[in-house]
Amino acid sequence: MTNDFGRFRLMADAEFHEFVEGRLPAMPSAAQALADDGFVRDRMDFDRLPALWRQRNGFLWQGPGLHVIIVTLRCNHRCLYCHASSVPMADRSTDMSEETARQVVDRIFESPSPAITIEFQGGEPLANWPAVKFIVDYARQKNETAKKSLWLNLVSNMSLMDSEKLDYLLERGVNFCTSLDGPADLHDKNRLFVGGSSQAETIKWFKRIRRKTSGRVFRIDALLTVTRFSLGRARDIIDEYLRVGSRGVFLRALNPFGLARETWSRIGYTPEEFLKFYEEAFDYILEINRKKVFFEQGARLFLAKILSDDDPNFLDMRSPCGAGIGQLAYNYDGRIYTCDEGRMLSRMGDESFQIGDAAEGGYAKAVSHPVVKAVAVASCLDNQVQCSQCAYKPYCGICPIQCYAEQGDIMGRMPSNSRCKVSKGVLDIIFRRMDDPVNRRIFKAWLRKREDKGLYQRH
């Protein structure tokens, strides 16, 4: 049982039926605990509870904090699930120019958000190294006046990294994120690389960056994209993450964007198949945590909402979602989109989520675009019949662009929505294990390991 203040109760059947019939527990302390958490209609604290709600939803007053920049669509990989619809390395027509990069950074610093995260994506961002360097230096220069909390994140396959680039990025406090899909045979099957083993290059630089950033706030993390080839190999994948020294793993389901749509029959699966994989991996992770802290990032984000009063502002798990009001995506040519998913759809021939251009109109025109308003309405859980009554409403979120790609409508149909099934299934798994005091201690340890909230704005 949950409420809009994020509070929850795990109740036995008899206790629950007694409650819904209007009878409070006989023990005064139990009845008072329900009242304190906002479950008793005639004992609501209208000073404390609205303040708590505002604290949990503080992101609504901040403006876009995450700014995804596509500096190029060139890439030397051909991943089976490529969401970016990348182009060959020889095609420089998608490289962002310095002038466009300057305009993009100018638009970014028009956001009223006190915290700005600039995330380099592609293609492979390092294929357009001059643009990356310019944006890093220009953003840091502008921030000398703006005085915002500035984070710079590089999402890279690491195959174009070298010592000179690494030293430059480390000196400027850039965070790193790469993909690691498991053991070499699995990773290289998902992430095709004509230059040799993609996994070998990834691990080489992952370990080197991890050593160089030990003890620092900025560091490197890795992401896993689960394909059909991953099913049945949960332990192998987790063991590989442990082997390379990762502090956790993010078990992400496939999205229906880019090449993944074309290859779905080969690499896709049902929500039920993913949840079977996830549960096997999650239980193995809990076993590992008897000896050392090693988290599953998706669960940790949910647990931050469940066990604390602070929302980590992870844009894929909030209501309304971050599209246009929490993040913006900037294409290599300066076109602005509600989010990276909206930009991905443009590569599939659908410009429904373009909301402006960095060269004209500015920030205010983009965020006040009718599409931003429509997406905000569509992602507000109170506007969804099933979501508004769901016990997981305080912890969940909708992606209208994924609903549009999968079901043809930004107002998703939740009973048949694959993302909804996955989110509810993962939350079922978490709550089923919440009663165990050992697991509860593990979950609290995961939250104690959280760093600055700015690192949690992106998957």
pLDDT given for residue 333 in this prediction = 97
pLDDT (tens digit, 9 = 90+) per residue, 8-29? 999 999 989 999 999 998 889 9
pLDDT of the residue at 163: 97
The Cα 106–Cα 334 span in angstroms is 12
Q: Could you tell me what percent of the chain has a pLDDT over 90?
A: 88
CATH superfamily ID and name for 62-366+451-456: Aldolase class I (3.20.20.70)
Range of weakest confidence among 18-27, 166-175, 196-205:
18-27
Instruction: Give me the phi and psi of 102, to 5 degrees please.
Output: -65, -45
Render pLDDT for 291-341 as a digit per residue (tens, 0 to 9). 999 999 999 999 999 999 989 999 989 999 999 999 999 999 999 999 999
Burial of 26 (0-12, 13-18, 19+ CB in 10 A): exposed
**Dist. CA 295–CA 298, nearest whole Å:** 9
- What φ, ψ does residue 125 adopt, rounded to 5°? -55, -35
Confidence label for 450 from pLDDT (cuts 50, 70 and 90): low
H/E element, 192: strand 191-193
Quickly list H helices, 172-314.
184-190, 198-212, 234-243, 259-262, 264-267, 271-288, 297-307
Q: 39 with 103: CB under 8 angstroms?
A: no
Report, as an integer, the average pLDDT of 93-100: 98
Strand order in the sheet with 115-121: 251-252, 220-225, 175-179, 149-155, 115-121, 66-70, 327-330, 335-337, 354-357
What are the pLDDT digits (tens) for 206-242? Answer: 999 999 998 887 689 999 999 999 999 999 999 999 9
Provide the whole-model pTM.
Answer: 0.94
Tokens of 46: 């209208």
Q: Where exactly are the structural domains of the chain?
A: 62-366+451-456
Q: Is the backbone peptide bond immediately before 320 cis, with ω within 30 degrees of 0?
A: yes
- Higher-confidence residue of 126 and 449: namely 126
